[in-house]
Amino acid sequence: MKVVILGAGFGGLRLARKLNNKKGIEVQLIDRFNYHQFQPLFYQVATAGLDASNISFPIRKVFHKSTNVRIRMADVTGIRMEEKLVQTSTGDVPYDQLVIAMGADTNFFGNDMLEEHAFPMKSTVEALQLRHKLLQNFEDALQAKDKGDELLLQRLMNIVVVGGGPTGVELSGAIADMKRFQLPRDFPELDFRNMHIYLLEGTGRTLGTLSEKSSRHSQEYLERLGVTVKTNALLQEYDGKKAVLKDGSSIDTGLLIWAAGIKGNVPAGIDPAFIARGNRIKTDRSCRVAGQEHVFAIGDIAYMEEEAWPNGHPQVAPVAIQQADFIAKHFLQTLKGTANPESLFQYKDKGSMATVGRNLAVVDVPKPKMHIKGFMAWLIWMSLHLMLILGVKNRFFVFLNWLYNYVTYDQNLRLIFREFDRDAKQSARHTMT
Our measurement of the distance from residue 421's CA atom to the centroid of its chain's CA atoms, rounded to an integer in Å, reads 30
**DSSP, residue by residue, 243-306:** EEETTS-EEE-SEEEE-S-EEE-PPTTS-GGGEETTTEEEB-TTSBBTT-SSEEE-GGGEE---
Of the candidates 353, 40, 359, 382, the residue with the CA atom closest to the CA atom of residue 221: 359
Do the beta carbons of residue 234 and residue 245 sit within 8 Å?
Answer: yes
- Give the angle 179-180-182 at the CA atoms, nearest 5°: 70
Burial 350-386 (b: 16+ CB within 10 A, else e): eebbbbbbbebbbbbbeeeeeebbeeebbebbbeebe
Do the beta carbons of residue 101 and residue 299 sit within 8 Å?
Answer: yes
Give the type of residue at 34.
N
Provide the CB-side half-sphere exposure for 70 (13 A, CA).
Answer: 10
Of the candidates 36, 31, 26, 39, the residue with the CA atom closest to the CA atom of residue 61: 36
Catalytic annotation present for 170: yes
Beta bridge partners of 245: 235
Burial degree of 242 (CB within 10 A; 0-12, 13-18, 19+): middle
Q: Which among 115, 150, 170, 189 is annotated as catalytic? A: 170
Q: Does an H or E element contain 383, and which?
A: helix 374-388
Q: Where are the beta strands (DSSP E) in 18-84?
A: 26-31, 35-37, 56-58, 69-73, 76-80
Residues with catalytic function = 170
